[in-house]
Every structure is written in structure tokens, then in C-alpha cells.
Amino acid sequence: MLDLQVVSVDTLSDKYVLIKLTYGHPLPSMVPGQFVEVLIDNGAQTFLRRPISINNVDIEKNQLWLLVAMVGDGTRHLARLKAGDSLNCVLPLGNGFTFPDTVMQAAERRFLLVGGGVGVAPLLYFGKELHDMGCVPSFLLGARTAKDLLLVREFMRYGNVYLTTEDGSGGEKGFVTDHSILKSERFDQISTCGPLPMMKAVARYAAKVNTYCEASLENMMACGLGACLCCVEKTKMGNVCVCKEGPVFDVNKLLWL
Amino acid sequence: MARLNVNIQNLELKNPVMTASGTFGYGLEFADFIHLEDLGGIIVKGTTLHPREGNDYPRMVETASGMLNCVGLQNKGVDYFCKHIYPEIKSIDTNMIVNVSGSTLEDYAECAARINELDKIPAIELNISCPNVRQGGMAFGVTCEGAASVVKAVRAKYNKTLIVKLSPNVTNIADIACAVEAEGADSVSLINTLMGMAIDIEKRKPILSIGTGGLSGPAVKPVALRMVWQVAKAVKIPVVGLGGICTAQDAIEFLMAGATAIEIGTANFLDPAVTIKVRDGINDWLDRHGCQSVQEIIGAIS
Ligand SMILES: Cc1cc2nc3c(=O)[nH]c(=O)nc-3n(C[C@H](O)[C@H](O)[C@H](O)COP(=O)(O)OP(=O)(O)OC[C@H]3O[C@@H](n4cnc5c(N)ncnc54)[C@H](O)[C@@H]3O)c2cc1C
Ligand SMILES: Cc1cc2nc3c(=O)[nH]c(=O)nc-3n(C[C@H](O)[C@H](O)[C@H](O)COP(=O)(O)O)c2cc1C
Ligand code: FES
């Protein structure tokens, strides 16, 4: 549990903010796919912590980025933070995405990272780490409209970016699973995060083309520590905690397909 | 430093601060945040004779200053506990207490009997008050006869410290407390969660998978405190108070209302180190008020 300091809060659109945080000591090591539990304000409506993915870690600047969609009181409160404010976080929590074991594997393995809406958040850090290992990941990012496509420029630094929007205002029109890249290219691993229907569609696509697929789930959480059993997902092994056993799961272990 | 130790009959606690079942896992989940042995006791997850998958997701929703849950006693059963979990927790140097649940008298008694065999488990907390399981559970806890019958069945098979956890979802909680005292309970703890509900108005359906859930957190504190006060006046056995405790001040209120010890539940989710802060806060208050021992404030209002 650390009191991090807000460096900046950038408004990306009327719905999204990017919060950059730092700490007086080196941040603990974190892997892509892990999340933090942030304390909002102990207010009557927002007294439980909110789980937020690790969007990026900038080791040189000792910064942690959180990409936040304003959906309710808690996230709107986060969007109102100012430089210099402190934010109490329990971190890092959960398990990350599957990484190549060796640099050699990384260079050969074709990764497709599929994100929808604010679900793109953990994929940036994952893509950056893959890039740093010598891999060129492909990012397939979807949103309702062009202005909800988030951090596209950041993603472009680390791999190939393919975009879709539901209204056709950016990239190809349609859902991520409609994108032409899925017809023209094959991948060795697909990692996805976003709305449940999108992730399920991605999982069906992966099953069809026989590709390993993992998804990062966003079940409602109370403790984030594996203590309360509130965040469970039904799996082939019974009900398991998303916060402790996940949030990233091999989709074949879930009961989606 | 005031003396913080208290006793629940034969059970000695270093201090009155324990953790509430279902909110603290098996303790190990919190080992990164506090020294577990600094607690007066750890009450682990609800355990049943047979494994239970619990209820479907969604199992929780935040409500004003509280939360509803309908976890439904998900656990791997008492045999798994004895074989796989007990070895991991038995060296934790505090009172490791198992919360026992069931849906029949036989299940309760058999589960308690298995735990009776475990050297390093000095007590059980009998949950006759879970609002989230269809049969049994709370059904026993809502009548004097039901509550007495479980305690009697368990007492026959269990000879260590027996704490009985009471349901607040009753008309007169003091009557239930007296009924379990008469059957040989060593202590009563209260309150379990208050049955509640939340509705998603867009979908026009309840948010929780089974419709209702148990309310916990600061929202329930005044109710819990009142009930602890009523029960402490009605029984001679020690009372363990809980329900919404977040701070040392909250804890001291329960002690003054007559609780010998307290448990902290939902507040662990907000601050995983809250238990130790509460313990230290109680100590500071006692020092500031010239009290030699926490005993001096137990029941101090009555
Ligand atoms: C592991 C994990 C990682 C996450 N990462 C991010 C992230 O990087 N960025 C981000 O913006 N959000 C993320 N979320 C979702 C985020 O936690 C919720 O949006 C947030 O808790 C909502 O809080 P609130 O007070 O603003 O809204 P509330 O008032 O609590 O709820 C407003 C609306 O949001 C919905 N909601 C609440 N909690 C969740 C949830 N856990 N998942 C989906 N919908 C929810 C509610 O159903 C309600 O309709 C993540 C969730 C999890 C479990
Ligand atoms: C997620 C959750 C799970 C719980 N599971 C149990 C349980 O298994 N057995 C039990 O006796 N009480 C259980 N409880 C009730 C708590 O132990 C406690 O009685 C209640 O939450 C009130 O205290 P609090 O307001 O400090 O949380 C649970 C509570 C929560 C929030
Ligand atoms: S949120 Fe408590 S176990 Fe996952």
C-alpha cells in the first residue's frame, strides 16, 4: 500500500483521462496485466477501492500510468485529481499476460493484442514490454467512435496498429472481430481486454483459427486480494477469484465457448 | 502501554482485535500488510462439511457506506481445510479460529468435530446466521429453538472455545443469545450481515445473482452497536462485537457497549492494515485517559 503522487491528469476526451503517478522511492516491479486498487475518498458512495489496470510503467521517470474511463462517482473523482495530490494504491495485484520465455521466442512469436474501449489500458504496457524484448506486436484497437480510440500514438511506438470504430469515423467500420487483418494474417498468441461481448467474440475467432487466446476480466471486486471471493468467474475448475487467479485467463479455462 | 489482553473464557487474546470471517481469507492474503501475529485472533473463512461452490456472480455491490454480498459460503470443505490449509496457517502465532457453517445439525456437528482434532485451532465461531444460503444457515439463527439445537449438537462434539455468531435479522437478538448461552456457548459474536437488496433500474432486476445479500460496513454500525449493548446486558458470557468497525473510535464504542473483543470485516478491503491501526488507536486512547488496561472500558457505559 503506497501513497503515490499525481504528476498530471490529462483529459483525453469527455470520457477518458490519463493519470500519471510517481513515488518518492522506486516503484515496485509490475508486470503487464496486473492492476492496482485505488482508494477514492472514503466517501459514502465511493468507499470501496476501485481496480484499475496498469496502463504503463515508465522506469526512467519512475511513473505509473492509469487510463481511466469516467463511468461513475469513483472514476469521476479520479479524473478531478490535480498534480501534487496523493492517491493511495495497493499494488501490484493479480497475474499478468503470458510472456515469451526467451528473447529468441519473442522475436518469432506473432502477438495480437486486441483492446476495446478503456480495455486497451493494460495492452499498452504489454506491447511496450514485448517491443523491448525485440518483438513487433500487432495492436487491434476498437471503439465506438474515433474520439474514443485511446493513446493510438503511444501504441504506434511499439508495434503495428489496426483500428476499428462502430460508426466508421476511424479505422475500419465495425467491431474488432470484423477487421480485415484477421482474414489476412495469423498469430501465435492473442491477448485481449475490453467489454465482455468483444472478448467473447475474440475468443470465438481464436478458437476458429486454433490460436492460443487469453483475456483480462474485469469482474466487480471488493478486496482485490483473494480474501472475499466476491469477484469469482465460473471456470472449468469451478468458481475462481479473478483478482488472485487472474485477471488474465486462458479462455479455454473459462466457460465462454 | 496499557494492557490490551482480554479473555473469552479460556481463550486468551493478546488484544481485543480480531478479523471477521469471510473478509480476511485465511489471513495469509494480508501477510504483506501487517504482522498477523499482532492480531488478537483471525477468524478464517466460513467452512462447511462438504465443499460448496457458493452463489453465481455478481456477488457484491457497493451501497451507501457499505456493501452487499451473497458469496454463499464458497469453500472447499473441512477435509480440504484440515489437509491443505491448516498446515499453512497453524504456525501463525495468534488465535486461528474457524468459522463453521452447515445446513443440517449433523453437518454442523461433524464439521466441528473434525476441527476439534486440530491442535492449533483453539476455538470455532459457529455461523448460525448466514443470510446467503438457501437452507439451514440463517434458518437456525432466527429462532431460539433453532439456535439452541445447533449449539447443543455442536457442544456434544466440540470441547474447545465455542463462539456462536448471531444473526441480526431477528426480532429479539438478546433472546437468541440467552438461548445459545443456556446450551453451553462460551461466547456470542454479533452481528452477521443484515439482509438487504439493490436493484439495477435500467435492467429492472436485482443486482445480486440471488436477489438479496448481506449488508456490511459502516452503514450497519449503529444497528450492530445497539444489538451488542442489548446482548451484553442479557448474557453473562463474553460478547464479541462487530459490524462496520473502521477506526479505533468505533472499536472503543463496541467495547464500552459491553463487547470483550471486536472483529473487523469490510474495513479490511479499504485498508488492509486497518486492524493494527485500530489496535494501536485503542492503546493510545487508553494511555491518554490513564487506563491501565482495556478491561477498564469494557461495558463502561452500562
Ligand atoms: C482488474 C480490473 C481492471 C480494470 N481496469 C480499468 C482501467 O484500466 N481503466 C478503467 O477506467 N476502468 C478499469 N476497470 C473498471 C473500473 O474498476 C470501474 O469502472 C470502476 O470501479 C467504476 O467505479 P465508479 O465509482 O466510477 O463507478 P460505479 O458508480 O461504481 O459504477 C458505475 C458503473 O460502472 C459499472 N462498473 C462498476 N465497476 C465495474 C467494473 N469492475 N467493471 C465494469 N464496470 C463496472 C457499474 O456497473 C455501473 O454501471 C477495471 C476493473 C477491473 C476489475
Ligand atoms: C464478502 C463477505 C463475506 C462474508 N463471509 C462470511 C462467512 O463466511 N461467515 C460469517 O460468519 N460471516 C461472513 N461475513 C460477515 C462478516 O464476518 C461480518 O459479520 C459482517 O461483514 C459485519 O462486519 P463488518 O461490517 O465489519 O464487515 C462476510 C462478510 C462479507 C462482506
Ligand atoms: S475481490 Fe475479493 S477475492 Fe477478488
Give the number of A-B residue pairs with CB atoms closer than 8 Å.
85
Closest CA to B128 of B162, B156, B160: B162
Which pLDDT does position B134 carry in this prediction?
56
**How far apart, in whole angstroms, are the C-alpha atoms of residue B243 and residue A139?**
48
**Residue owning the nearest CA to atom 3 of ligand 3:** A226
B83 burial class (0-12, 13-18, 19+ CB within 10 angstroms)?
exposed
Q: Extract the residue ranges of chain B whose pLDDT is less than 70.
A: 130-138, 302
- Tell me which long-range contacts B149-152 makes (C-beta under 8 A, separation of at least 24): B149/B105, B150/B102, B150/B105, B150/B108, B150/B126, B151/B126, B151/B179, B151/B180, B151/B183, B151/B184, B151/B185, B152/B183, B152/B184
Query: Considering only the top CATH level, what class is B6-296?
Result: alpha beta
Chain A nearest-CA distance from B65, in A, is: 4
Residues in B 43-82 with any Cβ partner in A closer than 8 A: 45, 53-54, 56-62, 64-65, 67, 69, 71, 74
> What is the pLDDT at residue B62?
97
Q: Given the DSSP bridges, would you call strands B41-47 and B95-100 parallel, antiparallel or unpaired?
A: parallel
Alpha helices by DSSP H, A65-177: 73-79, 103-108, 121-132, 152-156
pTM of the complete model beyond 0.90: yes
Largest CA distance in chain A: 52
State the ipTM, two decimals.
0.93
Ligand 2, residue B20: give the atom nearest the CA: 17
pLDDT for B139: 78
The rounded distance, in Å, linking the Cα atoms of A160 and A149 is 15
Measured between CA atoms, the residue of chain B closest to residue A221 is B60
- Looking at every residue in chain A, the average pLDDT score rounds to 96
Output the 3-class SS for chain B.
Answer: CCECCEEECCEEECCCEEECCCCCCCCHHHCCCCCHHHCCEEEEEEECCCCECCCCCCCEEEECCEEEECCCCCECCHHHHHHHHHHHHCCCCCEEEEEECCCCHHHHHHHHHHHHCCCCCCEEEEECCCCCCCCCCHHHHCCHHHHHHHHHHHHCCCCCEEEEECCCCCCCHHHHHHHHHHCCCCEEEECCCEEEECEECCCCEECCCCCEEEEECHHHHHHHHHHHHHHHHHCCCCEEEECCCCCHHHHHHHHHCCCCEEEECCHHHHCCCHHHHHHHHHHHHHHHCCCCEHHHHCCCCC
Q: Which of A50, A76, A123 to mutate to test the pocket of ligand 1 (most atoms within 8 A of CB)?
A: A50
Residue B242: closest CA among B30, B6, B23: B23
Chain B CA closest to residue A225: B29
CA distances from B44 to A240, B248, B260 (A): 18, 22, 19
**Residue B213: closest CA among chain A residues belongs to which residue?**
A230
Output the pLDDT for position B130.
66
- Find the ligand nearest to B244 CA: 2
Interface test mutation site (partner B, options A45, A73, A231, A232, max chain B beta carbons within 10 A)? A232
Mutating to test ligand 3, I would choose from A37, A95, A230, A240 the residue with most ligand atoms within 8 A of its C-beta, which is: A230
DSSP line for A43-54:
-SSS-S-EEEE-
Task: Kindly write down the DSSP assignment for every residue of A3-22, as one continuous string.
Answer: EEEEEEEEE-SSSEEEEEEE
Q: Is A110 helix (H, G, I), strand (E, B) or coil?
A: coil
The torsion angle over the Cα atoms of residues A250, A68, B218 and B189, rounded to 10 degrees, is: 10
Do the Cβ atoms of B70 and B43 come closer than 8 Å?
no
Residue of A44, A226, A233 with shortest CB distance to B29: A226
Residue A106's pLDDT band (boundaries 50, 70, 90)? confident
Q: In Å, what is the CA distance from B14 to each residue of A119, A190, B40, B99, B241? A: 47, 52, 5, 20, 16
Minimum CA–CA partner of A229 in chain B: B71
Q: Where are the domains of chain B?
A: 6-296
Position B174, amino acid: A
- Please give the Cα distance from B137 to A24 (Å, whole number): 49
Q: pLDDT by residue (tens digit) across A154-164?
A: 999 999 999 99
pLDDT value of position B135 = 55
Residue A42 at interface with chain B, using a CB cutoff of 8 Å? yes
pLDDT band at A257, cuts 50/70/90?
confident
C-alpha of A157 from chain center: 17
User: What amino acid positions of B are annotated as catalytic residues?
Assistant: 130
- Domains along chain A with CATH numbers: 2-93 (2.40.30.10), 103-216 (3.40.50.80), 218-257 (2.10.240.10)
Task: Return the higher-pLDDT residue of A43 and A153.
Answer: A153
List ligand 1's pocket residues with C-beta within 6 A.
A 35, 46, 50-53, 67-69, 71-75, 118, 121, 218-221, 247
pLDDT bucket at A101, cuts 50 / 70 / 90 = confident
Q: How confident is the model at residue A43 (pLDDT cuts 50, 70, 90)?
A: confident
B251 lines ligand 2 (CB under 6 A): no
Q: What pLDDT is attached to residue B103?
A: 87
- Peptide bond before A195: cis, by omega within 30 degrees of 0? no
Query: Separation of B23 CA from ligand 2 center, angstroms?
Result: 6
Strands A86-93 and A111-116: unpaired
Write out the three cell numbers for B124: 470455532
